[in-house]
Homo-oligomer: A and B are copies of this chain.
Amino acid sequence: MNHQKLDVAVLGATGAVGQRFVQLLENHPWFRVAEVIGSSRTAGRPYGEAANWVLDGGPPDSVAGLTVKALEDNFTSPLIFSALPKEAAETREFELASAGHVVCTNASANRMVEDVPLLLPEANADHARLIEIQRRKRGWTTGAIIANSNCTAMPVVMALAPLRQFGVNKVFIVSAQAVSGAGYPGVASLDILDNIIPYVSGDEDKLETETLRMLGELNGDHVLWLNAAVSASCNRVPVVDGHLVTVSVELEARPAMDELIAAWAAFRGPQPVPQLPSAPEQPVQYLPQIDRPQTRRDRNAGNGMATSVGRLRECPILGYKFAALSHNTIRGAAGGSILNAELLAATGYLGDFQPMLAVQNAV
């Protein structure tokens, strides 16, 4: 390993997803949190005081002492993680990319911009090449914007990517989403204790579009979306973390059930994805028990970076149905963005920063 870690900045660092970035980057082998950026209300204060820490324990000592910067400030870190709200993200992320920063964003604002890669490395690492289009088209040399997906689309894409070989035609999705997906303060406890809410603002649209873009093929300067119909219904449920999706899918090739299980078991991202430090050893684990995956018991699989799939059985309408689960604020948000940045670092998009790949994670 080179002995110098790369400085990174975290936008929206005091919010719930921002805190997850800070937590996951503690002791990261390649990256070091050098700048934390908050709202005008928190700017100028020590991070440890300004952030109302909502995760377990408290903020890492190494970050607690940093002074929170304002979004309008200039930053020195080549790599920026963004946990900004949508509105704040929309233009500021482009300004920072234009100023030479590589911005890995969890915000939804720019996910569907044609030259912004919507990355899930195991599924579409090659989409990262849109960065070249982006730079050429926009006249950037070192800057870039890369997005990770909606936290509910994420487990769907991870479960379907290994099935693309069978021809995905139609996809039915019903979600059971954790409250942490709404940030902090997010969902009021009076709205969710002993309750299910059959609505999550904006997420059904995202599932019906981001899923197809992520599963699509890079075709020159843009992504050809997967040609499939997706129907999504989203529910908010009283769990802390973990988005569970009930999926039915129609597969052109009508494979046997065993073939799906084998496809999931064999699924690995292309090199160098398996060697990235945050990559789970097995991206998709199929659980044979009749009542798994379960949100609380399986959300931390692969340190929260793996997707658990189970209950594969025949669907009388579309042919196949199963359940899939991912940790929504780790793989579905901050952890996913960090893995994206690792891919960029390992493939030369982060200037001359040359990380050492984690051979122990290689297949």
Give me the interface of A with B, judged by CB distance under 8 Å.
Answer: 16, 54-57, 170, 172, 174, 176, 179-180, 184-199, 208, 229-231, 233, 235, 237-240, 242, 244, 246, 248, 290-298, 300-301, 310-311, 315-318, 321, 323
CA–CA, A189 and B297, complex, Å:
13
Closest to A300 in B: B56
Give the complex CA separation of A72 and B314 in angstroms.
Answer: 42
Residue of B198, B235, B298, B315 touching A231 (CB-CB under 8 A): B315
Contact of A296 among B195, B297, B310 (CB under 8 A): B195
A196 is contacted by which of B184, B185, B197, B244 (Cβ under 8 Å)? B244
Determine if B239 and A196 form an interchain contact, defined as CB atoms under 8 angstroms apart: yes
Cα A321 to Cα B172 in complex, Å, equals: 11
Q: Which residues of B contact A239 (CB under 8 A)?
A: 193-196, 238
Q: Let me know if B230 and A316 touch, CB within 8 A.
A: yes
Given A190-B54, A316-B229, are A199 and B311 neighbors across the interface (CB < 8 Å)?
Answer: yes
Our pick among B191, B233, B290, B294 for the contact of A174 (Cβ within 8 Å) is: B233
Which residue on B lies nearest to A183, using beta carbons? B190
Residues of B within 8 A of A231 (CB): 248, 315-318, 321
B-side contacts of A187, CB under 8 Å = 188-190
Residues of B within 8 A of A300 (CB): 56-57
In the complex, what distance in Å separates the CA atom of A172 from the CA atom of B293? 21
A-B contact pairs, 14 of them (CB 8 A): A55-B297, A56-B297, A170-B317, A179-B189, A185-B185, A189-B191, A196-B237, A196-B295, A198-B246, A230-B317, A231-B317, A233-B321, A238-B239, A317-B318
CB distance from A145 to the nearest CB of B (A): 28
Contacts of A233 in B (CB 8 A): 174, 246, 248, 311, 321, 323
Task: Tell which of B235, B240, B310 touches A190, judged by Cβ atoms closer than 8 Å.
Answer: B240
A313 (CB) vs chain B CBs: closest residue: B204
- Bound-state Cα–Cα, A184 to B188, Å: 7
